[in-house]
A = this chain, B = another copy of it.
Amino acid sequence: MATRGRVTMADVADHVGVSKATVSLVFRQAPGVGDDTRAAVMAAADELGYRVNRTAALMTARRTHLIGAVAQIRNSFHAELVEQLVRAADAAGYEIVLGAVTPTHGENRVVDTLLDFRCEAMLLIGTELPDAQIGELATRVPTVAVGRRVGGPDVDAVRTDDAQGIAQVVDHLYRLGHRRIVHVSGGSGAIAADRRAGFLRALRSYDLAHSGSVIESDGFTEAAGMTAGHSLLAGDLPTAVVCANDLLAVGALDVLRSAGVAVPEQVSITGYDDSPLARLGNVALTTVSQRPAEQADRAIAAVIERLDRDRTERSTATLTPELVVRATTGPAQDSTLS
């Protein structure tokens, strides 16, 4: 049944009649072993069912080739990004160790666990940790914040330009004739702040600051979006609602439609992330793509430059997000043009 006495390197060595060191060399494809010996070792390993013990190997090896990724797997955009990271890391000869942030397991806890696994670098996806903590982490291990602006001299950042993304949305709506535009914000985190600021700036650039407003919500969730939807209904309906992410948009969309508001005829709604959710036919949300594949490539590249090429200066990559127009936006209805 269960192989209690695991097969070890010494077993293989004995079986072939060579030393542990030789077996080690063979398994790391290191040079300096004759072809026949190599073959004999492989054969014996095969026969005995030997597998290198990763844990033991990690102990002495200076390198682990492990990269930690912290993500909220419930968020489908995060899930997609993780898939891309796995792909990109794989291509570079690294492995992603995934830490799932859940209601019961906060980011700090997850980071600690990943450090315990001796990850050589850390990718923080959509993190809401304070800058100071990220900075401190970065002194221990190369750290890349994905999807968010971050301070600190040692922290790399890969993100799309949220302000620009929101500006694209506002521009799109403006061209459709919208003038009274409301932003549903995503709470108090750094990402929400960037998007809110981008929204306000875009409004000003169109001289719409007087006719726009912001609804604060308490997070990037569908529930928060529903609450925001109710606030919208309670007041004077705008012609367009710019939500800070897709989940918020879906929540708001739901409440408005249930209340008999036609979308996009009466009110246009937009999201952010282009998550798989937004792509669903029944949702078909106009949104902004954060280019997960490119972000993943950049993030892995940043890690590798530090790990394998001794880069020490900070690196930041800001990609241009991409507006994805779907079915929740349309021409403003007899807008009260100024």
Residues of A within 8 A of B (CB): 1-3, 51-56, 58-59, 73-74, 76, 79-80, 82-83, 86-87, 90, 95-100, 102-105, 113, 115-118, 139-141, 154, 222, 226, 250-251, 253-255, 257-258, 276-277, 280-283
Contact = CB atoms under 8 A, between A and B. Distances in A.
A141 B74 contact: no
A246 to B, nearest CB: 11
8 pairs of A and B residues whose beta carbons are closest in the complex: A254-B281, A54-B116, A83-B102, A73-B79, A87-B104, A55-B58, A73-B73, A98-B98
Nearest to A57: B116
Nearest to A102: B83
Nearest to A258: B281
Contacts of A118: 53-55
Nearest to A141: B2
A221 to B, nearest CB: 10
A4 to B, nearest CB: 10
Nearest to A312: B1
Given A74-B276, A83-B100, A86-B105, 16 more contacts: A52-B116, A54-B116, A55-B55, A74-B80, A76-B76, A83-B102, A86-B102, A87-B102, A87-B103, A90-B105, A98-B99, A117-B117, A253-B281, A255-B281, A277-B277, A282-B282
Given A1-B154, A55-B118, A105-B90, A281 B98 contact: no
A296 to B, nearest CB: 11
A100 B80 contact: no
Nearest to A103: B83
A99 B257 CA distance: 38
A280 B96 CA distance: 31
A314 B283 CA distance: 44
A76 B276 CA distance: 11
A55 B254 CA distance: 48
